[in-house]
Chain A
Amino acid sequence: MPLDEQLRQLAEQVPAVPPSDAAALFRRGVRRRRVRRGVSVAAVVVALGAVAVGVSSLGDTPVVPDIADLPPAPTVPDVEESTEVVEPDATSGSAGEAGTVCAPAGCEVWRRPLSVRHPMLGWVQASPVVIEDDQLVGLELESGAVRWRVALGDELRAREGGPVELPMGGALLVGGDERVVLVNPHGVQLVDQSGQTRWTRALPAQGAELRMVQLTSTSVVIVRDLAPVLADHEELQSGEQFPVQSVITVLDVRDGQLRWSREGPERLLPQSQLAEHEELLLLDDDAAIVALDMVTGAPQYDLGGEPDLSHGYANGILVVGPPGEPSAPTRLVDASDGTTLTELPGTARSTLDIDGLVIVLLEDDQPNATSWEAVAVDPDGTLAWRLPVEPGGDDECCPSILDLDGRSVRISAGPRAPALVIDVRDGTVRSDDPLATTPSVDIVQQEQIGRGLLITYPDNAAGYIVRDGKGRSVQITAPFSSGSRPTQQTSSDLVLIGNDHELIAVRLQ
C-alpha cells in the first residue's frame, strides 16, 4: 500500500476525542488577547530599560497575610521523642557488599525498594531521604543503611484526623544543603541533616492541590492551586488545561513562621516553573514571568509576551522565550530588574551556568534550513563567544550542554549529532571528546545529573546508562513505569537513581 494511503489510514485510526466548546475556546482567546494587550505595555517599557511593575496577571492584588488562618505558631517537637537515630544497618540496602570489584565498567553497589505508597525521594546534603511507614528515613550514601528515622508531624495529617495522605493528597519532598522539607496540602515539616525535626507547620485550608515547593536559603516557598479560572459560561471539561488561580505561601526557613501569603498568578499551568534570584521569587505562568519580593511578596516586575522559564535561570540571567511560537527570539533578561540584556536568534534548547558564563544552545528555524549555535554571554549580557553547532538527526531528543570539568563543556544537538568540546574561557574547540562513543541502543532522552555525568534513557525501557566525562559508563537495569520521573544524585563516583520502585546506587570505575 502506498505510504500516503497508509498515513491516511493511520490518521483515521486515531481515537476521536469529544470536541471542545468552540465558543469557550474563543472566549479564552479573547481573554488572553486582553491580557496580552495589558502586558505588551510592560514589554515595551522593559525593552526601554525600565521596570514594569505588576501590570499583568498579578494585577494590583495586595499582599494578604493570612496569619489568622494559620495556627498561632509552628510546632517544634521534642527531638528525643520524634527522632530515632540508628546504628548503620548494613542490611538496609541490598547488595551492599563492601569491597565489591566494579572493574571494568562499574557496578551496582546497593539497591533499596521504595514504598509503593510513598515513592518520593529527597536529599539532604548528598544523602538520600525516603518515606517509609509514615516516617522520613535518612540513608547512608555509600551503603544505603538507615542513619535516622523521624515520625511525620501531626500537622501533615488530614484535618478530620484521618491517616496521613501521602502521596494521595499530593506531597513534595525537597532537599537542600542542610535540610529537607516535606510538604503536603495540610502541612510542612522541616528536618535537618541529622534527622531532627526543626519545625512543623499546619497550612491554612486555602489552597487545594500542591503545585510547587522551593527550598531556598531563607524560605520555604509553597504554591498551591485554588481553582480553575473560568470565564462566564465556561465549563470545566475533562482534560482541558484551564489556567489555575494559585496561592503562594512563603515561610521562614529558620522557624516556619509565615512571611507572607497571597493569591498568585491566575494563569498557572502544569509546566509553570519557580526560581529564586537573590531576594526575588520568580514564577512563570501562561502569560508572564512575575518577580516577587521574597520578604514581602510585593511585585517587583513582570515580563509579558508568554515567556517560558523552562530554560530557566542561570547566573543572574533569565533565559526566556515564548513557547510554541516559531521564529521568536530568545531573550536574556537580568533577573534583578527584568530588563532585557540581549536577544539571540532562535529557540533556547539548553542552558548551562559555568565558570561565570551563561551558555545557551540555540535552534534557529530558518526558511531553508535549521541551524544550531552555542552562545556564551557574561552576566551583563556581553557576548563572550559564539560557535556553530552541527544539527542533530532528530530534533525531538536531547540537545545538551554537558559540564565536563567546570572549565569545558560538551555541546551537541542530539545524541547522534557531532559534538563540540569547548574550553569556555576562550571558546576554543578541543579535539578530544570523552563521550565520543554513544551507546549502541536508541536514546530517547539524556540529561546531565552532575558535573561531567550524563544519564541516558534508552528506548528499550530496560534501564539507564550513566556516562561521565572520563569516558566511563555503567548500565543500570531497572524498570520504567508510567508516570515515574527518575531523580538522581551523585557524589564523587557514586550515582543514585530513584524511580517509582527503588533506589539504586552504582559506582563508576
Chain B
Amino acid sequence: VPHLVEQRHNHATARMNNTTAQNAAQAEAIGAYRWILSGRVQGVGFRPFVYRLATQLGLTGTVSNRGGCVVIEAQGSVESLAQFETALLREAPAIATPTILDCAPISLNESLCERGFVIEISTNAESSAPHVTPDYPVCEQCLAEMHDSGNRRYRYPFITCTQCGPRYTLIERLPYDRPNTGMAEFSLCPQCSTEYSDPGDRRFHAQPIACPHCGPQLQFVGRGHAPLIGNEASLAAAVDALAQGRIVAVKGIGGYHLMVDATNTTAIERLRQRKHRPHKPFAVMFPWQGTDGCDAVREHAELSAVEKDALTSAERPVVLITHRKPQTLPICLAPGLKQLGALLPYSPLHHLLLDALDRPLVATSANLSGEPVIIDNAVAEQRLADVADAFLHHDRPILRPEDDGVVRHIARRARPLRLGRGSAPLEMTLPFHLTHPVLTLGGQQKNTLCLAWKNRIVISPHLGDLHQHRAQKNFEHHARALPSLYGVEPSLLIADAHPDYHTTRWAKAINNPTPRRMPGSSGLNSLDSGIHRDDEQAIDVHFVHHHHAHASALCGEHSRFEHDTLVFTWDGTGLGPDGSLWGGEALFGRPGQWRRVASFRPFPLLGGDRAIREPWRMAAALCWETRNDWQPLSVPKEIYSLLHQAWQRKLNSPPCTAIGRLFDAAAALLGLVDVATYDAQAPMLLENIAEGEGRAVPLPHAVDEAGVLRCDWQPLLRHLLDERQNVEQRVADFHRTLAQTLLVQAEYARDKTGVRTIGLSGGVFQNRRLTETVVDELTQAGFEVLMHERIPCNDAGLSYGQLMHCLPLLQKSERQ
C-alpha cells in the first residue's frame, strides 16, 4: 500500500544533503493527492473529522463516502499534506478504525481551491456501504453536556453524537441513514436539524441525534398506577422503585435489563425466585465514579489493570472481577463464586439511573430462562408480568436484540467469553476473495452466526442457547437478517455435524425443503422462516465436526493455515467423527485436516443430556467404571441403583471423553454440586474453591489401537476420593493434574511430529486457573502457545471455526 508519508520519507533520505532553503521550498511546493480509506470509517464522524483537519491545515478538496470506503482528494503544501495523512490515522475519532487502501498523486485543480474543503453528500447508491458499526457507550462530551444544566440536552437520556450511541441495534437496513434506522419516526427539530447539517458540528450526520423536544422519551409502568410519560417523572419513579428493592425491567440499547438493588439480598433473592434461576450469577452494573470511572467497582473488587481497561473500553462489556475479601456484596449475586460479572453504565440512561441511586444494580438480560433478550415494550410487559414489578420503557425501537458482551482476564489479556453489544458484529478479513457467499451456523449453545463474502467476515452477536423455541426463532430470524443487512445471499451453509442441533436441522431443511402435503393451507411451514428461495438455486450445506471447528477457529485467528499446530480442544461435549462425544482431544494439523493424536479414557454419559445437567451421574459413572464406591447423599437409593443397572446394561450411555464432564464429576465427588442449575456451574465452583499451587497426580498414558495416546484418569479419581486432604487442596491438584496431562500429551506430539506450537481452544479454557497453569508449563517446556484473542474460546467461536475449517477447500475451488 503506497503511503504519502513513506514516499516522502524516501525522498527525504535521498535529499540528505539538500540545503535548508531547498527544504523550505520543497515544503511550500503544492501537491494534490487522492486517498482511499477503508475500515470502520462510515457512521463514525469520519468525514467531519477529515473536514476539520483539512480546514485546519489549509487544504482544499473533497471527502466523500464511496462503497465501503472514504475517498479524500486534497491539495495544498506538501508539508501540510504529509501532516494531514499522519493525522488521518493518528487523530481519527476514537471509534473509527481507518486504514489507507490507496494513495496516489492527482493533478492540481484550480476550482477546488476556490471552494475550500467540501464534504460531498453521497447519493444513496454511492453510500451503500455495507459496514455496520457496533453500539458505543455515551462519549465524554455528551456526558458533560448531559450534566450541564445550561445545555439543552441537560439530563436527556438519549443524548448522542457521531462518536457514541446505538448503531447495530438501531439499524433496520443499510445505508446507515436516519430513515433506515429506529429514529425514522422522530423528525428533527430545527435546532437538531442545524447540528445535523453543519459539517463543523460533532453531530453532523449523527443519525440517532435527538433532543428533549424531538427525540425519544421515557415511560414508566408500575403496578396499579397509570403509566407515567416524560423523562424526569419516569426516571424518578424508576429510581424510587429500585431504591425500595423492586425489580424493574429497564429498556436499554440492545434489549431490556432486569434491574434490582445489588446491595439488597432480599430483593435479589426475589428476582432469583421469580426468574427460576437459583444460582446462575447475575451481572452487576456499578455507578461511574472517579477519574477513571472505576472507583465504585474498586470499593467492592480487586481490579487488575487489564480488567480496568476492559471495563472502561468502548465495548463496555461485562468483565469478570474478583470480590474483595471479605466480600462486601451479597453472596446471592453469584453463589459459591469469588468472581462477579461487573459492567459500567454505557447508555446515558444508565448514567442517570446509577448516579441517582449511587449503588450497584443487578443488570441481567430480561428474558425467561433460555429465551432471547426482550426488545419490545409490549412483549416485555407480557412475558415479564410475573417477574418485574415495574417497567422503564422508552419509545426508541430496538431493531436488533443484543446482549452485553462478556470478557475475562486470562493469561495477560481480556479475552472474550461472549460477543455482544459493543463487540459485535465483529468484522474480520479473509486472505482471499470468495465468489460465493457463505453463512456458517455455529453450534447449539452460545450460538453465533458468521457471514463471509468477498474478503469480508462478519460474526453476529451472541444468539444464545437454541434449546427453547423463541431462541430457535431468533436464530432463524438472524440467519436471514444478517445476510440481508449486508445485501448478501449465501449459497453455502456450514453447520455442525451433530444431527440434533437446531442449526443443523435448519440447514438440512433449507437444503432439502420438504414439499408441503397440503398446498394452499393457511398454516406456516417451518421453511417460510428460512432463507429458502423457491428451489431455483440450491443452497449447499457442509458439515464440520465440532472440535475441528474449535481448532480451526484458533488457527484462523492466528492465520496459521500453512503450518501444523497441535490444538487442545477441551470442552463440554460435541460429536466427534467416530460417533462418540468428544471434548478432551488433542488435534494435530491445520484447518481442513485434523488428526486426533491424544485423548482420554472414555466414560459413559449416563442418561445422555441428563448426565450433563446432573454432575453426580458423571461422578457415579467414573466410579462404576473403576469399581470405586461412591454415592451422593442427595440421591435416593432406588434411583441410584436403577442408574447402576442402566450403566451395567449400557442404556442411553453414549461414550464421551470431555474434560468439561471430568470437571462435573470432580465437583460432584467433592460434594459441591449434584444437579447443576446453569451451564458450567460445576467447573466454575471448582475453579473458585481451589487453593494453593496444587500437585499433579501422575496419570498413565497409553496408545490405543487407533494410534491415539489416551490418558487414564483413574488415579486422579482415586485422589479426589482421598479424604486425607482438604477439598481445596484436592481441587488445586485436579487443575494441576490436567495441566500436567496436557503437557505430557504435547511433548508426546512433539516427539512424534516435531510440532512446537500448541493451541488452546474450547470452553474449558475459560477456566483461568487451568489455562494460566497450562500456559506457564508449556512456555517453560519451550512451546509457543496460541490462544483466542478476538473470538471466544467456547462454542461462540464455532461459526467462525466452521468457516476457517472450510477455507482451504473454498480457496481451492476459487482457484479452479
* A and B part of one assembly: no
Task: Name B residues whose Cβ lies closer than 8 Å to a Cβ of A.
Answer: none
